[in-house]
């Protein structure tokens, strides 16, 4: 199993990525199931935007090396995002049962992760294909969505290293209310 996950991770890191939603585009609203600290709940983007900007980061698959590292990095900086008024939500095509475990372990219970169904994956143009257990895998794409529902920043790169720093910087540049 670990060898298969390593092989998938290697292929994903080599894959070219591009996101269709450009800054200024309206972010598609959605309602899905997510988890925080292992507890499952409903995530509705419009409700989250009422609180402030949202960092919506898509990741390929829970419990893979790059996704684990990225989740830990977001968890380490979630207080900085909150201080800037933003909510962090991780998204993948994994089932919510897997994400509930992931939210407790890799995310340290500090932010929500949610299951991105086909409509969300298509709306945000983050599909990479079916590469893991017959399930669709998403690209590693981070969106900063302003309170008005428009994309303020997008970063799409399979290397998880810069997603946290770049999205935090983008949030800090948003006008505060």
CB atoms under 10 Å from CB of 50, counted, come to 8
DSSP, res 29: P
CA distance 170 to 177: 16
Q: Where are the beta strands (DSSP E) in 30-163?
A: 31-36, 39-44, 54-58, 87-92, 112-115, 127-132, 135-138, 141-145, 151-156
CA distance 59 to 66: 9
Which residues have CB under 8 Å from 131's CB, separation 6+? 8, 11, 12, 60, 137
The CA radius of gyration of the chain, in Å to the nearest whole number, is 15
107 in active site: no
CA distance 102 to 28: 25
Are 170 and 88 within 8 A, CB to CB? Answer: no
Catalytic residue among 21, 67, 71, 158: 67
Catalytic positions = 67
């Amino acid at each position: 199993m670990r060898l298969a996950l390593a092989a998938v991770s290697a292929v994903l890191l080599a894959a070219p990525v591009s996101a269709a939603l450009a800054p200024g585009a309206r972010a598609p609203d959605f309602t899905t199931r997510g988890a925080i600290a292992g507890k499952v709940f409903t995530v509705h983007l419009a409700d989250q935007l009422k609180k402030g900007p949202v960092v919506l980061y898509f990741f390929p698959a829970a419990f893979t090396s790059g996704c684990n590292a990225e989740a830990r990095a977001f968890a380490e900086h979630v207080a900085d995002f909150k201080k800037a008024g933003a909510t962090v939500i991780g998204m993948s095509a994994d089932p919510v049962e897997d994400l509930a475990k992931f939210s407790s372990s890799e995310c340290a219970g500090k932010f929500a992760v949610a299951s991105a169904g086909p409509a969300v994956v298509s709306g945000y143009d983050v599909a990479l294909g079916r590469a893991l257990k017959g399930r669709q895998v998403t690209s590693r794409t981070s969106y900063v969505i302003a309170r008005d529902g428009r994309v303020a920043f997008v970063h799409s790169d399979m290397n998880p290293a810069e997603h946290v720093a770049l999205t935090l910087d983008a949030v800090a540049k948003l006008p505060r209310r």
